[in-house]
Amino acid sequence: MSAVANKSVMLESIRDEEFAVFQEMIYEQVGISMSEKKKSLVEGRLAKRLRHHGLSDYASYIKLIKSGNSAERQMVIDMLTTNETSFFREQRHFDFLASEVIPASGHGSPYRIWSAASSSGEEAYSMAMLFADKYRSDRWEIIGTDISQQILAKARKGLYPMRAAEKIPPDYLNRFCLKGVREQEGMFQIDKKLASKVTFNSLNLNGQWPSNMGMFDLILLRNVMIYFDQKTKQKLVEKILQQLRPGGYFMIGHSETLNGVSTAVKMVKPSIYLKPAAP
Ligand SMILES: C[S@@+](CC[C@H](N)C(=O)[O-])C[C@H]1O[C@@H](n2cnc3c(N)ncnc32)[C@H](O)[C@@H]1O
């Protein structure tokens, strides 16, 4: 049997039946479908946890998780979710909001935005910069949610390496970000006033949702459905659209589609959908 070498512990390779345990667990708890191709990714990411516990094989690690260790279960979820994101990712969504949506809004109740699957917060803070700049009042708020606790902690911190600022317009960088000094050299911090408009909560899109989430004017569900199968996507989109006000917008990732998933919203541009106003 091949082994992953380590300075202190020699790790056994993950067996097919052990990989299947993680496959099932991630599908049941998160809704993510992992193909066989993800075997080495799973092995690579979980190896750190085996080492952390001084274990040399995946069977022992599975035993540990199954013994009711919920913190370790959450750790597995954190390790096996992909959190890639960036500021002003998919610029066309921001352009559409600036030119079509924001000028026509701001007359009624506060504008509420949900960054569902917010990852480390770049999406929510980019929206916040846009709304702070362009919205006619400060009656707007953003809720970011994600399943990964580690990534939510990062989002709440709002501290990013300077290289992450690449796509932030220079004017926004000046107005809404503070350059780190001393131990935060090479980093920037989201300005407190802007950050106070954004709240991050833990939420499993495929689990139970709190009953007091309220309705939203704009929901972003970007670059997360790619990890779900068709049935999971259909159920999720049906549920998420119940939280969208009639006349509100729904945005998905540019490489995603609602074809075969939902007909309840009308496409206004690729990856941008409108929930028809009530008749
Ligand atoms: C690739 S990131 C996308 C981030 C951002 N929306 C964007 O487009 O840049 C996907 C995020 O979805 C989260 N995620 C995956 N499954 C989830 C679930 N069932 N419930 C909530 N968040 C989930 C992951 O933790 C990850 O942070």
- ∠ CA 262-265-268, rounded to 5°: 120
CATH 1.10.155.10 domain locations along the chain:
3-80
Q: What is the pLDDT of residues 65-90, one digit of tens each?
A: 999 889 999 999 999 999 999 999 99
Ligand 1 pocket member 97 (CB < 6 A): no
- Report how far residue 183's alpha carbon sits from residue 40's, in angstroms, rounded to the nearest whole number: 36
- The boundaries of every CATH 3.40.50.150 domain in the chain are 91-274
> DSSP state, 15?
P
Which of 27, 119, 239, 254 for a ligand 1 pocket mutation test, highest count of atoms within 8 Å of Cβ? 119
**Gap from CA of 86 to ligand 1 centroid (Å):** 12
Residue 253 Cα to chain centre, angstroms = 12
Q: Which CATH number fits domain 3-80: 1.10.8.80, 3.40.50.300, 1.10.155.10, 1.10.10.10?
A: 1.10.155.10
Identity of the residue numbered 167: K
Report the CATH fold assignment for 91-274: Rossmann fold (3.40.50)
Is 136 known to be catalytic? no
Mean pLDDT, rounded, for 205-232: 97
Write down the pTM of the prediction: 0.94
- Kindly give the number of the ligand 1 atom that is closest to the alpha carbon of 84: 1
Mean pLDDT of the chain: 94
Does 191 qualify as catalytic in the annotation?
no
Token digits of residue 177: 């970000």
Q: What pLDDT, on the 0 to 100 scale, is given for residue 277?
A: 87
Helix (H, G, I), strand (E, B), or coil: what is residue 89? Answer: coil
Beta-bridged to residue 271, according to DSSP, are: none
Please indicate whether residue 219, judged by its CB atom, sits closer than 6 Å to ligand 1.
Answer: no
